[in-house]
Amino acid sequence: MRNWSLLYIVTAVLSVVVCIYAPFDPNWRLPPNVSTTGREVDHLFELIMGITGLTFVGVSIAFGIAAWKFADAPGRKAKYMHGSQRLEIVWTVIPAGILVFIALYQMGTWTKIKFRSEAPRVQPIAEVSARQFQWLMVYPGPDGRLHTPDDLHTVNDLHFVKGKPALIYLKSQDVIHSFFLPQMRIKQDALPGMTIPVWFDSDTASTSEHPFELVCAELCGWGHYKMRSKVVVHETQAEFDEWVTTSLKEQNRDRLKSAKTTTAAVENKGGQSL
């Protein structure tokens, strides 16, 4: 019977070894952070990981010793014990204290990332709509306003400017999705029927060839794994504006082409019926 305790001890030791190894392997953790608030998120993550990790090690050692020492053996009788009030108070008060500490300690970061009153006072760079299984972006055109005829529409292509707060309006067209920017440590659910402001920034530029990533972090259906978008962080506002202008030209050319094709098809059809 004692051997069963070995199984537990080995599993616990392996878990700890894996946890210690993880930060040294870039593939086992989040990509390097590029945002201002991301540093604070990482700090909170490490702090909580430290507290839970130490607790896990302590509990595992105690549990391993108990399982080894008090394993069932022929002729051994269990001792009846009514419980220890002092012990129960200790193991209730300590975790409660830790939880209250974390709740208070993270408040500043949470406020910066989520409280609407903290949203940057800037024009939104885009409206992002999630749907099974893609991200649809609408950028304001030259008039600087959304939902006007000169808007730029893209699919799976998020652009903003380095070193400036970027604000987007997040929507969902069908089910619940989750807007996740791993490099910026930002995650926000997209809920049908709601428009949610989300803000973030980046101190590092990225390109179309080597973009950052936007992924869906909510299991939203069979094609969930496909919900990935490029994130391009432009070096300057001028570079971003140039991208909008070029993309608008392409969009107008494509529209003209498809309008011509439709007209030709209609005319053709009309000709045939005469």
Total interface residues for Cu ion by CB under 5 A = 4
- From residue 118 to residue 157, the character string flagging contacts with Cu ion as x (rule: CB under 5 A) and all else as - is ----------------------------------------
Q: Of the listed pieces 32-40, 75-83, 171-179, 246-254, which binds Cu ion according to CB under 5 A?
A: 171-179
Contact 247, 239 (CB under 8 A): no
Residue 158 or 220: which CB sits closer to Cu ion? 220
CA–CA distance, 52 with 95 (Å, rounded to integer) = 10
Which residues in the 177-236 window bind Cu ion by CB under 5 A? 177, 216, 220, 227
Residue 132 or 251: which CB sits closer to Cu ion? 132
Reported for 118-125, long-range contacts at CB under 8 A and 24+ positions apart, including other chains, are 119/167, 119/197, 119/199, 120/165, 120/167, 120/199, 122/164, 122/165, 122/166, 122/167, 123/167, 124/167, 124/168, 124/169, 124/197, 125/159, 125/160, 125/166, 125/167, 125/168
Contact 190, 171 (CB under 8 A): yes
Residue 227 or 232: which CB sits closer to Cu ion? 227
Residue 168 or 220: which CB sits closer to Cu ion? 220
Residue ranges of alpha helices (H) inside 106-142 are 107-114
Q: Of the listed pieces 64-72, 87-95, 172-180, 247-255, which binds Cu ion according to CB under 5 A?
A: 172-180
Q: Output the smallest distance, CB 219 to Cu ion, in A.
A: 8
Residue 40 or 157: which CB sits closer to Cu ion? 157
Residues that bind Cu ion (CB under 5 A): 177, 216, 220, 227
